[in-house]
Amino acid sequence: MMHESDKYWEIKPNTSLLDIKLKENYEYRDLLWLLVKRDFISFYKQTILGPIWFFIQPIFTVLIFSLIFGNVAGISTDGLPKPLFYLAGVVTWNYFSDCFIKTSSVFRDNAYIFGKVYFPRLIMPLSVVFSNLVKFGVQLLLLFAMMLFYGLKGGHFQITWYVLLFPVLVLLMACLGLGLGMVVSAMTTKYRDLAFLVTFGVPLLMYATTVVFPLSAAPERFHNLIKFNPMTPIIETFRMGFLGTGTFSWSMLGYTTFITVVILFLGVVTFNKVQKSFVDTV
C-alpha cells in the first residue's frame, strides 16, 4: 500500500538568488579558460586578416569620427590630436559595449550547451567578459602606439597620476557590461525583441557619452544627461590618466561605482532566477 508521503519526490535547486557559488566557479576555471580561448580563436578563424581585425574596426571608426566630428562639425577635442582623442574613447566604449551585447544573448546562444551538461551558468557571461578583455588589451596596444607616434611629433598630451585608476576603470566597465547583459539576457528568454533593441540601441547610446566630444563641449541642454551616463566618468577619467585632459571628480566616479554595484546586483538576481528554468522557455 502506498502511503501519502510516497506519492512523489520533488527535486528543486537548493540555492538563493544571491548565491553566485564563488568556490564552484573557481573550480571550473579550466572551463572558463577554454571558453575564452574558443571565443578568441573563433573570432578570426577562417579569415584572411586574422587578429588584424581587432585593429581595423577602431582605426576606421577613428578615421570617420575625425572626418565628421573633427573636421566637418568642428567639435572640440580639448586640444588633443583628434585621432588620439577619439581612439581613447572608442577603445573604452568597445570593451563595455562588447561585454554588454554579447552577455545579453548568452542564454539564447548557448541553450544547446546548457540543456546537455551541468556547470555553473555564471561561467558563460564571465567568459564573455574575459575574452573581451583580451580584445581590449590588443586595442590598448594600438592606443599606446598612437601615443608614441604623437609623442615623437610633439603632440600635446601627458600621462598623469590618474592612470593609477586604470584597473578600477576596467573593473567598472566589466561589471557594468556584465550586470546589464545578465539583466537583458534573463529577459530575452521570454521577450526576444530585446535582443534586437540591444543590437542597434547600444551603438546609439555611445553618442550619449563623451566618446566623440569632451564633457566640457557637451550641449548645455543635454549636459546633465551625458554627465550622469555611468560610462561618461569612466571615459573622462581614462582620458585624464593617459592623455592629461578630461573632466574628473571623485563624486562622478563614486556615482558610477554605485550605479555599477546596483546593476550588477540586479543582474546576479535575475540571472540566478532565470537560469533554473530558462531551458523551457528559450
**Is residue 44 situated within a structural domain?**
no
**Is residue 34 situated within a structural domain?**
no
pLDDT digits (tens, 9 = 90+) for 30-39: 877 887 877 7
pLDDT digits (tens, 9 = 90+) for 162-218: 999 999 999 999 999 999 988 888 787 677 767 778 888 888 888 889 898 888 888
Q: What is the pTM of this model?
A: 0.84
pLDDT in the model for residue 2 = 45
Residue 217, phi then psi, degrees to nearest 5 = -105, 10
**Is residue 31 situated within a structural domain?**
no
**Is residue 62 situated within a structural domain?**
yes
Joined together, the cell numbers standing for residue 112 give 544547446
Q: Could you identify the residue written with the cell 593609477?
A: 164
**Is residue 164 situated within a structural domain?**
yes
Q: How many domains does the structure of the chain reveal?
A: 1
> For the range 112-118, what are the long-range contacts, defined as Cβ-Cβ under 8 Å and sequence gap of 24 or more?
114/275, 114/278, 114/279, 115/279
Counting as low any pLDDT under 70, the low residues of the chain are 1-26, 28, 43-51, 109-112, 114-119, 189, 193, 275-282
**Is residue 122 situated within a structural domain?**
yes
- Which residue segment(s) compose the domain that 162 sits in? 51-280
**Is residue 84 situated within a structural domain?**
yes
d(CA 279, CA 31): 21
pLDDT in the model for residue 167 = 95
pLDDT in the model for residue 86 = 93
Helix (H) or strand (E) holding 198, with range, is helix 193-205
d(CA 101, CA 185): 9
Q: Could you identify the residue written with the cell 540586479?
A: 266
**Is residue 25 situated within a structural domain?**
no
Angle at 43 between CA 202 and CA 132, to 5 degrees: 50
d(CA 41, CA 50): 9
d(CA 33, CA 143): 26
d(CA 137, CA 62): 18
Contact 99, 245 (CB under 8 A): no
pLDDT in the model for residue 48 = 59
Contact 147, 242 (CB under 8 A): yes
